[in-house]
Structure 1
Amino acid sequence: MIHTIKSYSWIMLLLAVACDQREQLVDEQSEGFCLSENLRHQLVLDTLRERDITQHITLTGEVSYNPDKVVQFVSWIAGIAVQTHFSLGDFVRQGQVLATLKSPALNTMLAEQRSLQAQRQLAERQYTAAQGMYDDNIAAERDLIETKSALEKLDAELANIEANLALFHPNPAQGIFEIRSPSSGYIVEKNINPGMPINDGDNLFTVSGLSEVWVMANVYATDMQFVQQGMDVEIRTLAYPGAVFHGRISALPQVFDSHERVLKARIVIPNEGLELKPGMSADIAVERRGAGKAVALPADAVIFDDNQYFAVVYGGDCDLQLRRISFVARDDQWYFVDNGLEPGERVVSQNHLLIYERIKG
């Protein structure tokens, strides 16, 4: 029993010595280790300096159309789609025929147009006659006003029906309407196919320009204090790994979305290469600035081991130290250190793990 206790005491003593040695490896200069010339050439060193404390908050979001560049074509007549000349995603030009539609309304509208044209000709003759008689003091001013009012009413009705016909571009010879694109852009929504019945009020298709898109970022209540209008952001998508799109928060509403319970921050971004597609999910990084400054350690120089953070400080080829660090904030680029490092010191940010393993033994 005594022998067992003595053995246990020796083990505890050895552990204490080992721990003490480990502390020395962390906090003091390494002894007996120098960089080889080959390893020295493989190192990358960074000189530490103080920076404003920043932190990147990542928001989720989605690429959306710019509503100012979206045109929806809504039918106000019923009929049957005869042909379509476009597919979802096609680029179309203003005035291009996209579909044809057969509708009983065509004959009705053409008949109404002819009737109004005939009525207008008669009303114009009556107004001309009333004007002449008024000038000759034969007719009263009231008669002139009445004939003029009747002519103006017919003009308005005729202009209205002609505007409606112009919207659908009738082809009386074939008994069809031609539906033409109201603007140039991409077909981003299509709800019409040959043989499909069309009802009054149906949205047949949507045309959108994509040279500029919106990215709608979800701002939860916990992040509201860090997100402000006018902040620059970085946008990343799964479709383009490594690519970063830059934008700025142009609007931040003060009302939560009733369904998702978030604020929808709007980011307007140029899309000249048409890489960003509406409906594409995105991650939006917003830079949060904290109070004060701290030593900024490159994220690549940080070593995480045994639930602790370390950096390799370079004082010379034979002067390498492990430093245990603590930080107040971090992001993908920097760790803002409040203990363990000083401005002006140099740290190893590439191949530092090789040195770490040698020093810690």
Structure 2
Amino acid sequence: MKKYIIPITLMVTLVGCKNKEETKEIPKEPFCLNESFMSKTDVETVHKQVVTEGIHLTGSIESNPDKVIHFVSLVDGVISKTYFSLGDAVTQGQVLAEMYSTNLGALQAELNALNAQIEVAKVELNAREQMFEDKVSSNKELIEAQSNLRVLESEKQKVERHLSLFNASNSKNVFQIKAPTSGIITVKNINSGTTVADKGEPLFSISDLNNVWAMANIYSTDIARIHSGMDVEIKTLSYPDEIFSGKISVISQVLDENAKVLKARIVLSNRNFRLKPGMIADITALKYTDTEKVAVPTSSLVFFDNKNHVLVYKSACDIEIREVSLYTKRNETTYIESGLEENEKIITKNQLLIFEALNN
């Protein structure tokens, strides 16, 4: 039996037709600011300004020691009541405290005794005058009676002045302690029950805060650059967005023993008592030069890839990222060395968002 092997060849023919399509480049649309975003953007024209160097100093706000009154008691006693707190505004003559004192009882007793003696002296004087008219008494005896009355009345006036000086209250049998001037209570050392010693430590201090001092610390490296009359700008943590302006009026000629710095005094008008003694102050002394540079707001700079940039605005669809070199900075102003010309326009608000959009 014959076996036939029939080879079957399966031929798979793959015919690939590959059509090459040309890749068309889609032109990139320019970035444009729409009206909505433009309303949230600020554009400023830059100008040249005289470069003002800022010398940074530390310091604090202090009350003017020439306008601070420290109240010291002239008698011993015990505080029975107080009517004020630290930081209160007080007016001249306002009762601030009351004090029991044995001195009050002694003065009142002396006053009562003098009143009685004066009554007796008046009666005796009347009698002497009558006797002198009747030629029973001599002129010498009359003069003695008159002199005795005058002495007693003088002693009474002295006691009354003491009682008035200590603001004695006959109805309450206490000394009333009154504010000697108007101002702000900056020190308080008494409360109800406090024992007060004659000529001891101040019971309280009242400061006139209509004008305060900013005391700046001048370190050795800055002594040669700081002088009296320099304009200064002062910022505080309490008012970070506000600048208080003043001038250096006096520079101490003796180093502070503890801080090893010279102290510079800046007198500031303190409207509404906004500046409080004890506040920390960030002080910048301004040194003017003859150099002019293009000035931009420091907040308008964009720092990217270790370089500084600004966004130069030409139109809503023509905004350029421009690298700039800095000359120096002072507070909120930066002076440009190169990369930006006077009268060019830059974006100063929301520039970071625009920078990201242009970069992408």
- One of 73, 79, 82 as aligned partner of 2:80: 82
Instruction: Please list the CA deviations of residues 60-111 of structure 1 after superposition, one character each: whole Å capped at 9, or x if unmatched.
Output: 3222222233211111322222222222223322222222222233344556
CA separation of 1:232 and 1:360: change in aligned 2, threshold 3 A:
same
Q: Is the Cα contact below 8 Å between 1:312 and 1:347 reproduced in 2?
A: yes
Which residue does the alignment assign to 1:276?
A: 275
> 2:158 & 2:286 partners in 1: Cα distance?
54
After TM superposition, give the deviation of residue 331 of structure 1 in Å: 2.3
Q: Counterpart amino acid of 1:295? A: V
Which residue does the alignment assign to 1:198?
A: 196
State the identity as a percent.
Answer: 39
Bigger Cα displacement from structure 2, 71-80 vs 44-53: 44-53
After TM superposition, give the deviation of residue 204 of structure 1 in Å: 0.8
> 2:180 & 2:105 partners in 1: Cα distance?
23
Which residue does the alignment assign to 1:263?
A: 262
> 2:193 & 2:33 partners in 1: Cα distance?
79
> 1:355 & 1:288 partners in 2: Cα distance?
35
Q: Is the Cα contact below 8 Å between 1:34 and 1:317 reproduced in 2?
A: no
> 2:59 & 2:225 partners in 1: Cα distance?
16
Q: Is the Cα contact below 8 Å between 1:33 and 1:359 reproduced in 2?
A: no
After TM superposition, give the deviation of residue 182 of structure 1 in Å: 1.0
| Correspondence 1:1-150 to 2 at 5 A | 34-38=30-34, 41=38, 44-109=42-107
| Correspondence 1:336-347 to 2 at 5 A | 336-347=335-346
- One of 168, 182, 187 as aligned partner of 1:189: 187
Q: Counterpart amino acid of 1:332? A: N
Equivalent pairs counted in the alignment come to 307
Q: Counterpart amino acid of 2:297? A: P
Q: Which runs of 5+ in 2 are unaligned?
A: 1-26, 126-146
> 2:223 & 2:114 partners in 1: Cα distance?
61
Instruction: Please list the CA deviations of residues 156-180 of structure 1 after superposition, one character each: whole Å capped at 9, or x if unmatched.
Output: x988766544321234565432222
Bigger Rg over Cα: 2
> 1:220 & 1:115 partners in 2: Cα distance?
66
> 2:184 & 2:301 partners in 1: Cα distance?
48
Q: Which runs of 5+ in 1 are unaligned?
A: 1-30, 126-147
After TM superposition, give the deviation of residue 321 of structure 1 in Å: 4.0
Q: Is the Cα contact below 8 Å between 1:71 and 1:207 reproduced in 2?
A: yes
1:210 is aligned to 2:209: yes
> 1:216 & 1:116 partners in 2: Cα distance?
55
Q: Is the Cα contact below 8 Å between 1:89 and 1:186 reproduced in 2?
A: yes
Bigger Cα displacement from structure 2, 197-206 vs 297-306: 297-306
Which residue does the alignment assign to 1:297?
A: 296
Q: Is the Cα contact below 8 Å between 1:216 and 1:265 reproduced in 2?
A: yes
Would you tell me which structure has more helix in proportion to its own residues?
Answer: 1
CA separation of 1:53 and 1:182: change in aligned 2, threshold 3 A:
same
Alpha-carbon RMSD: 3.9
Q: Counterpart amino acid of 2:193? A: G
Bigger Cα displacement from structure 2, 348-357 vs 276-285: 348-357
TM-score (norm 1): 0.69
Q: Is the Cα contact below 8 Å between 1:54 and 1:331 reproduced in 2?
A: yes
Match of 2:277, SS state, is coil
After TM superposition, give the deviation of residue 292 of structure 1 in Å: 1.6
> 1:354 & 1:95 partners in 2: Cα distance?
61
> 1:189 & 1:198 partners in 2: Cα distance?
16
Q: Counterpart amino acid of 1:247? A: G
